[in-house]
Amino acid sequence: MGPHPAQPASSPRVLSIQSHVVHGYVGNKCAVFPLQLLGFEVDPIYSVQFSNHTGYPSFKGARFDGEHLKSLIAGLEENGLMKGYTHLLSGYMGSVTVLEAIADVMQKMKAANDGHVTYVCDPVMGDEGKLYVAPELVQAYRNRIMPLASVLVPNQFEAELLAGCSSPITSLQGGLAACEALHAQGPHTVIITSMQLPEDTHHVTLLASTTQEQSAGEQFQRLALRIPKIDAYFTGTGDLMAALLLAWLHHHPHDLKLAIEKATKGLQLVLMDTAAACGAHVLKAPRTSEISAARELRLVQNQAKLAEPELHVLSLSEGAQKLECIALGGQGQPMAKIPSTPSVGTS
C-alpha cells in the first residue's frame, strides 16, 4: 500500500504516552500499529507495563512515575530528538506525578516545534459511573492537562467528571452543555466517544463538537453519530478509538464528520470481526484467562480495514449496520440527518 493521499512529504510523528501490555491489545498496543498503518511515525512511552490487561484474573508488572517519564524525555532532548513531533497522545496514566510530567512534556514539545503540536488527550479515569484511578487525578486533569489539550476524547463518565456535571448526561442537549464546559477549559475539539441515551438503548451515541472552521460550514461543528450496539464487551476499544481519531482528524482537519465516521467505522469493523471470531459462547462466558485471551482485539487481521475503512461494509449476520450522522443546533436539537460519506456504514 502506498502512502496515504493526505500524508505530507515528512511523515507526522506522535509521542504516545500510555499503558503497555506484553500480551494482548490495550494502551500503546492498540495505538502504535493503527497509527503506523495510517502514515504516522510513533514513539511510545509506557505509563505502566503489565503482562496482560487488568481484565484477566491476574496480571504482573510495574507502574512508572513522573521521574521515569522525565528521564526518558531528557534523553530525547540531549540528542535533539524532540524536534519533529506533530502530536502528543496520552491515555491511561495511573498517578498524578505522571500527569504533571506530561504537562511539562507538552510544553517542551511545543517549544521544540514552534508551538505546532496537537495534543490528543484520552482522559482514562473510569466508565459507567465507576472511577478506577485515584480521585485526585480528576482535578489534576482540570488544572494541568485541559488548558494544554487540543482534542479531548472522553467517554460519557469522564466527560461528566471533567465538565463538573451535577447529574449524568441523558440527552444530546446535556451532552452539548458538557462539551461547552470542556471547550471553556481549553480543547478546541471535544468528542464524547460513547454516550448511552435512555431513549436509544440499541445505539451508542458519539457526540462531537469543535470550534474549528469546517469546510462544509458551521452546521458541521456539532455532530451526533448513532452507532449500532455490538452485544459484547472488549478491552482496549477506547485506546483504539483515540488513536483512530487522532489519525483521521489529522488527515481531514476541516471535516469533522468524515473524521469521526472513518474512526468509528474502523473500530466497528475490528469489533465485528473479533466478535465473529469469538463466537457466542466466548462472548457470554465469564472472563477466565482463556476467555479474556480469546476476546483480544484482532488488529493485525483487520489492518486493511483500519487503513481504508471506506472500502469496507459494516455488516453482521443479522444484516447491515448503519452509522447515522446528525447535525445539531446550538441547544442540541437535531437539525438534519446527514448522508454518510459514500460506502461508509452502508451495504
The residues annotated as belonging to the active site are 239
Residue 216 exposed, middle or buried by CB count within 10 Å (0-12, 13-18, 19+): middle
Burial class (CB in 10 A: 0-12, 13-18, 19+), 290: exposed
Dist CA 323 CA 313 (whole Å): 11
Looking up cell 489519525 gives 247
Degrees, nearest 5: CA angle 315-206-208:
130
User: Cell for 239?
Assistant: 485506546
